[in-house]
Structure 1
Amino acid sequence: MGLAIAGLGMAAVLAACGGDDFTDQSGEEIADASKAAMKDLDSVKVSGSVTTDGAETRIDVQTDADGNCTGSIGVGDGTAELLGVDGDLWFKPDETFWRDNGGADADQIIAAVGDNWVVVPDGEDGFAQFCDVSDLMDQILEDDGDESTYTKGDTQDLDGDQAIAVDNKDSKGTSTGYILVDDPHYLVKIEKTEGQDTGSVTFSEFNQDVDVEAPAADEIIDLSSLAG
């Protein structure tokens, strides 16, 4: 059930900006500044979609550094709600999700789970990666190191904020990151049209509280307890 989104990698971002005007810096310097800002986040909302080997994954998740998250993950035609509280993680798939991913046991699982939340077991990285802002940024901002090149583009208005475009080319393809001109230089959007894992992802609600509450005990199902 892995949901890789690392292919959007834009290592968009490490060093301080210095005293020069931000947009006068090189594409790599702008990307490094944005990477530093994103790595310093306490929380963020990530929304968008990524297509890998013809399969689309849709993302709409707010997550923080304390194991809290809320939102949804869509795979194909199915969707699963996601909820994390202090490191405990649950998901609630719709019937289509179960039928697409449950195999021969789909009918049995649907009957057993109903409208309850399902415990995400330890070690299930497919969902867990969305419930830790640090891990998620590591996935998204990964690049090929010295093999990556950055080219600065134009400044444009994105939802009322000035952002500068930076193209990143590496072995995984070409992506464009849109980075806020004003400090902190957050990455607000990535678009990837060439190479592996194409799609578009936006970032918002920087450092805002993730308001979550654990499900009641009678609304939780542990599938491992149903085995056998």
Structure 2
Amino acid sequence: MSRKTLARTAVAAALLLSPLSPVSPLSPALSWADDGDGDGASAQELSDKAQETLLKAKSVHLKLTDDSAGTSTSTTQPTSMDLALDQDGNCTGSIEMGSDGGSVKMVVRDGQVWMKPDKAFWKTQIPGGQGDAAAELFKNRYIHGSTGDALVKGMADSCDLDAFQKEITGDPDNRHTLTKGAETTVDGSKVIPLSYKETGKKTTLYVSTDDDHHLVEATEKGKGSDLTLLFTDYNEPVPSATPSADESVDISKLQSELQKI
């Protein structure tokens, strides 16, 4: 194919990640408890407090693991995400695709976006040997653009904590009565599990026992689903380091760089 076509297809591969939300697979898990009775009333208080803490958070670190995606043949379905994001739209982390579809590192800071696909990503997202050419073009460098650039806007949207917080409020007409379990430990924190079962799946919210009762983990297990979403570093600053110019390729200059090859 022509160099001009290579430039277009290489950059277009970034659009396959547009948009990705770490909460989407677990939206049912974040449907908070209804009033219920007995144990449900206590679960209501815990889930309401956990929701309040999450909605007020200025930043949070999310780790999504989808073990059920390991059996999928899709190279565009993420199997894991590791993102630190804040309400200012800053973000840093990585996304790994299923079926050996490669991975992408990302940084969003002050309206600028950097994304770094690995060789496997380019090869699987751009067929017919063109992915090899794209991987050679970028040579493990970051693609650099702004949050206003359509080519990387989807990546920037994945770092929108404000949108994430609106999504996790859940549908008030589709809430579940959660059952409170015995105290346990998750990621070193003492937590109370709040769970419900529906359509062959069990969803559990693990809420900390400390005063703010923040959400530590949400899981969905059973019938083709094995999802885990871990919440850490509430209100901690997102790392501010950004890739250097030497590590980056500006989207607007891709075509001219190709012409030099």
- Indicate the TM-score class for this superposition, using the shorter chain for normalisation: 0.7 to 0.9
| Greater gyration radius | 2
1:64 corresponds to which residue?
86
Greater helix content: 2
Going from structure 1 to structure 2, the CA distance change for 1:160 and 1:111 (only over 3 Å counts) comes to closer
Going from structure 1 to structure 2, the CA distance change for 1:97 and 1:184 (only over 3 Å counts) comes to same
Shift of 1:223: 4.2
Shift of 1:143: 3.6
1:163–1:180 contact (8 Å) kept in structure 2: yes
2:31–2:175 contact (8 Å) kept in structure 1: no
**Letter of the aligned partner of 1:118 in structure 2?**
I
1:8–1:197 contact (8 Å) kept in structure 2: no
Q: Distance in 1 between matches of 2:49 and 2:64?
A: 23
- Does 2:114 correspond to 1:96? no
Q: Distance in 1 between matches of 2:254 and 2:86?
A: 31
Q: Distance in 1 between matches of 2:165 and 2:202?
A: 18
Q: Which runs of 5+ in 2 are unaligned?
A: 1-15, 34-38
1:68–1:86 contact (8 Å) kept in structure 2: yes
Shift of 1:69: 1.5
Going from structure 1 to structure 2, the CA distance change for 1:145 and 1:24 (only over 3 Å counts) comes to closer
Q: Calculate the TM-score normalised by the size of structure 1.
A: 0.80
Q: Among the aligned pairs, what percent are the same residue?
A: 27
1:7–1:198 contact (8 Å) kept in structure 2: no
1:180–1:186 contact (8 Å) kept in structure 2: yes
**Letter of the aligned partner of 2:172 in structure 1?**
G
Q: Calculate the TM-score normalised by the size of structure 2.
A: 0.71
Shift of 1:123: 6.9
- Does 2:208 correspond to 1:180? yes
> Number of residues paired by the alignment?
220
**1:44-83 equivalence runs, <5 A:** 44-50=60-66, 51=68, 54=72, 55-76=77-98, 77=100, 78-83=102-107
Q: Distance in 1 between matches of 2:113 and 2:153?
A: 11
